[in-house]
Structure formats: structure tokens, C-alpha cells
């Protein structure tokens, strides 16, 4: 799993909590430099490998999203790393706006994919991807998931492919993942126009930055 400054911590720790049992000590948190990497809320996660020490052949490559996404869409060192490892990985995956980073690396051309709702339909097509309004999208060996919380759904769906559905069900029960949110406001459709406008305002820099980074490629 890739780490970068400005990533969303839940994009990382949600899937990591559910997939770590499959990977064991071979779950690598990879960044440009080994050591702590600050998320977009300041929470730091420690990278255990860098681009040089990360194994060359991977079962799964995971890219999170976050406010730092536009900068990483321009980070040629990261994009080269992703292209190299993706060429041999069994699964090339993302959480939230991590799909835009995969797109910037040229890894989603012609693939069905999803992302955070605020950029899915506008930015993904700029990379030749086919946007899909679903929580988790499988297309051949590409797996993308929608915004932040969908990383948990992604990890369970991928666990079922990597091991079997009962393993994934057991992981879900261990995590007591039985969401009953207090509000039906998790998508623009259910949240309504006023709440969506407020959320879009909060996400303004991410939206504009992602469009600018995509158009610059």
C-alpha cells in the first residue's frame, strides 16, 4: 500500500485492518522515504519501505486517496513506481481518489472504475477510464472503490477473491462491520442539494486541483 503526504488515513487503515490477516508480515506500507507520513488531517502513518526496497513482484498494489491526490498525480517518481509494479502485480487497486493517481500513471485507460463522487464522473474520463457509480468496481485485475468508507467494502470484496467468501464474511464479523449510519446522507442523491453544495465547497480545492492535474498530463 502506497503512502503519501496528504493521504486520507482511513483509506489506508480501513483496508489494512481487514487485509493484514491475509498478508501477514508481507504487507508493506511504501512511500518515497521510510518513516512517518502525515495524512490530510495530520495523523501520521509509518512507511516501512521505500520505492527501492519495496518488493518488485506484488500480489496487490493499493493506492489511497486524499487531499494530497493532485500533487501525487504530478509526482513522476511515484507514477513511475506504480507503472513498474503494476506491470507485474496480480491486482492493481485504489481507494477513493487513489484511482486518479492510477489514471495519471496510465493504468486505467479502457477500464471501468470509480472514485470519490466529487471527481468520479468529471476527472476519470480524462484518463480514458469509464466511470461507474458503484462502491467497488472490478474490471479484470483493476479494483477501484468509491470515497473513503468504501475502502472497507473494497477490502472485503478483495478478500473474497484472494481467499474465499467465508473468509471475508469472518473478517466482517470480527470487525463488527454492520453499518447503520445515523443519517442517510452518504451520497449526493440521498443527501440532497443543500448538503451536497456544502460538501462540494469543502472539497473545492481537491476537485479543482484534480481537474488541473489531469488536464496538465
H-helix or E-strand spanning residue 95: strand 91-95
Residue-level pLDDT at 24: 87
Say whether domain 9-215 belongs to CATH 3.40.50.880.
Answer: yes
Active site residue 96: yes
Query: What does the pLDDT look like over 81-140, one tens digit per residue?
Result: 999 999 999 999 999 999 999 999 999 999 999 999 999 999 999 999 999 999 999 999
Query: What does the pLDDT look like over 164-205, one tens digit per residue?
Result: 999 999 999 999 999 999 999 999 999 999 999 999 999 999
Grid cell at residue 14: 480501513
What's the predicted TM-score (pTM) here? 0.98
Residue-level pLDDT at 122: 98
In degrees, to the nearest 5, what angle opens at C-alpha 18 toward C-alphas 28 and 21?
65
Given the residues 2, 62, 63, 96, select the one marked as catalytic: 96
Query: What does the pLDDT look like over 175-184, one tens digit per residue?
Result: 999 999 999 9
Task: Round to whole Å and give the CA distance between 32 and 116.
Answer: 25
Amino acid at each position: 500500500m502506497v503512502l503519501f503526504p496528504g493521504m486520507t488515513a482511513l483509506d489506508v487503515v480501513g483496508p489494512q485492518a481487514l487485509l493484514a490477516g491475509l498478508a501477514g508480515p508481507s504487507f508493506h506500507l511504501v512511500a518515497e522515504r521510510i518513516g512517518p507520513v502525515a495524512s490530510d488531517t495530520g495523523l501520521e502513518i509509518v512507511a516501512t519501505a521505500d520505492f527501492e526496497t519495496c518488493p518488485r513482484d506484488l500480489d496487490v498494489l493499493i493506492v489511497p486517496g486524499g487531499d494530497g491526490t493532485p500533487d501525487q498525480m504530478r509526482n513522476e517518481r511515484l507514477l513511475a513506481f506504480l507503472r513498474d509494479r503494476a506491470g507485474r502485480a496480480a491486482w492493481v487497486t485504489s481507494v477513493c481518489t487513489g484511482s486518479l493517481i492510477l489514471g495519471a500513471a496510465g493504468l486505467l485507460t479502457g477500464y471501468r472504475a470509480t472514485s470519490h463522487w466529487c471527481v468520479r464522473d468529471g476527472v476519470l474520463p480524462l484518463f480514458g477510464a469509464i466511470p461507474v457509480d458503484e462502491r467497488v468496481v472490478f474490471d479484470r485485475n483493476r479494483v477501484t472503490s468509491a470515497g473513503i468508507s468504501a475502502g472497507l467494502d473494497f477490502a472485503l470484496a478483495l478478500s473474497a477473491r484472494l481467499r474465499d467468501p467465508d473468509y471475508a464474511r469472518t473478517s466482517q464479523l470480527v470487525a463488527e462491520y454492520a453499518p447503520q449510519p445515523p443519517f442517510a446522507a452518504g451520497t449526493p442523491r440521498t443527501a440532497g442539494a443543500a448538503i451536497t453544495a456544502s460538501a462540494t465547497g469543502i472539497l473545492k480545492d481537491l476537485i479543482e486541483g484534480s481537474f488541473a492535474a489531469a488536464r496538465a498530463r
